[in-house]
Copies of this chain bind each other. A is one copy, B any other.
Amino acid sequence: MRVIVTGGDGYCGWATALHLANRGHDVAILDNLVRRSWDNQLRIETLTPIAPIQRRLERWEQLTGKPIELMVGDCCDYPFLSESIRRFHPEAIVHFGEQRSAPFSMISRERAVETQVNNVVGNLNILFAMRDLVPDCHLVKLGTMGEYGTPNIDIEEGYITIEHNGRKDTLPYPKQPGSFYHLSKVHDTHNIHFACRIWGLRATDLNQGVVYGVITEETEMDELLINRLDYDGVFGTALNRFCIQAAVGHPLTVYGKGGQTRGFLDIRDTVRCIEIACNNPADSGEFRVYNQFTEQFSVSQLAEKVKEAGSKMGLDVTIEHVDNPRVEREEHYYNAKNTKLLDLGLQPHYLSDSLLDSLLNVAVKYRDRVDMKEILPRVTWKKGAVEEAAGVKVG
Which residues from chain A sit less than 8 Å from chain B, CB to CB? Answer: 78, 109, 112-113, 116-117, 120-121, 124-125, 128, 151-154, 160, 162-165, 167-169, 171-180, 183, 186-187, 190-191, 193-194, 197-199, 327, 333, 381-382
Contacts and interface: CB of A to CB of B under 8 A. Distances in A.
B191 A190 contact: no
A299 B191 CA distance: 26
Contact of A116 (B124, B171, B198): B124
Contacts of A333: 167
Contacts of A174: 160, 162, 171-174
Contacts of A176: 171-172, 193
A244 to B, nearest CB: 28
Instruction: Kindly list the 4 A-B residue pairs having the minimum CB-CB distance in the complex, ordered from nearest.
Output: A171-B174, A152-B169, A109-B128, A198-B327
Nearest to A333: B167
A194 B183 contact: yes
Given A112-B128, A153-B169, A167-B152, A191 B197 contact: no
A197 B168 CA distance: 30
A381 B177 contact: no
Given A78-B109, A190-B177, A154 B162 contact: no
B197 A327 contact: yes
Contact of A151 (B113, B171, B381): B171
Given A187-B190, A199-B382, A164 B160 contact: yes
Contact of A113 (B124, B154, B179, B382): B124
Contacts of A168: 152-153
A109 B124 CA distance: 8
A273 B381 CA distance: 33
Given A171-B151, A172-B174, A174-B172, A381 B124 contact: no
11 contacts: A124-B180, A152-B167, A152-B169, A154-B165, A160-B162, A162-B164, A162-B174, A173-B174, A176-B193, A180-B194, A198-B381
A235 to B, nearest CB: 21
Contacts of A175: 172, 190
Nearest to A197: B327
B169 A151 contact: yes
A67 B143 CA distance: 49
B169 A164 contact: no
A152 B178 CA distance: 29
Contacts of A164: 153-154, 160, 162
Contacts of A193: 176
Contacts of A128: 109, 112
Contact of A121 (B117, B154, B177, B381): B117
A112 B112 CA distance: 20
Contact of A187 (B120, B152, B167): B120
Contacts of A180: 124, 191, 194
Nearest to A173: B174
A199 B177 CA distance: 15
A160 to B, nearest CB: 7
A172 B179 CA distance: 16
Nearest to A112: B124
Contact of A194 (B117, B121, B172, B177): B177
Contacts of A381: 198
A197 B179 CA distance: 11
A112 B183 CA distance: 19
Contacts of A109: 78, 124-125, 128
Given A153-B163, A163-B163, A198-B327, 7 more contacts: A109-B128, A117-B120, A160-B174, A162-B162, A172-B176, A177-B194, A183-B190
